[in-house]
A and B are shown apart, each in its own frame.
Chain A
Amino acid sequence: GAGVSQSPRYKVAKRGQDVALRCDPISGHVSLFWYQQALGQGPEFLTYFQNEAQLDKSGLPSDRFFAERPEGSVSTLKIQRTQQEDSAVYLCASSFALAAETQYFGPGTRLLVL
């Protein structure tokens, strides 16, 4: 595709609801990254996929956060039992290979938990 796309762009959830955020990386990009960006902060690493393998999930804040990329392209970040502190922008990025490569970012999903 022309760029990284994410959906939905905005999501409002009631505390306790489950949400699923989708990322479509650039076609052919091997690596996919999820970041969390709190208001007024820089993005913080959540997790990394190389093709379908999740090689690092050390940044996931709790076991309520789960990410998958079953066929090595589209990825979904799922948050179970959302809490107010989960409110943030979730950014997806992809790169052709490994991280010395430039990461290309999507527009993000703004999640608001009420």
Chain B
Amino acid sequence: AQTVTQSQPEMSVQEAETVTLSCTYDTSESDYYLFWYKQPPSRQMILVIRQEAYKQQNATENRFSVNFQKAAKSFSLKISDSQLGDAAMYFCAYSTGTYKYIFGTGTRLKVLA
């Protein structure tokens, strides 16, 4: 069965600094999709970034980038120039391309002024 593990329940970062959130997953599939979602206290989940497993190039969206290591089954999120508005729960999610997402347990990110 596919699983997603986020081993960091909570992380802190100083404003303007860089932080990396970890995610590992377990699957026997070769084609799949990986996502990072942000969930602010208002609870609406927002897509931060997505990665297709067949693409070797790491996805980037402005200050957000991923380090996708397919062989190691690792998918970490790097947030550069952290801002106060980045404070939220971050969830890593996996999908085989069918409709089911499998989520990790989340990492709470605190941004310190």
Contacts and interface: CB of A to CB of B under 8 A. Distances in A.
The size class of the interface chain B forms with chain A is 20 to 34
Contacts of B47: 102-104
A99 B97 contact: yes
A106 interface: yes
The size class of the interface chain A forms with chain B is 20 to 34
B38 to A, nearest CB: 11
Contacts, number: 61
Interface stretch (B12-20, B57-65, B75-83, B101-109): B101-109
Interface stretch (A43-51, A60-68, A76-84): A43-51
Nearest to A50: B99
A44 B101 CA distance: 8
B56 interface: no
A1 interface: no
Contact of A45 (B44, B45, B100): B100
A93 B99 CA distance: 11
Interface string B28-42: 000001010100001
Nearest to B100: A45
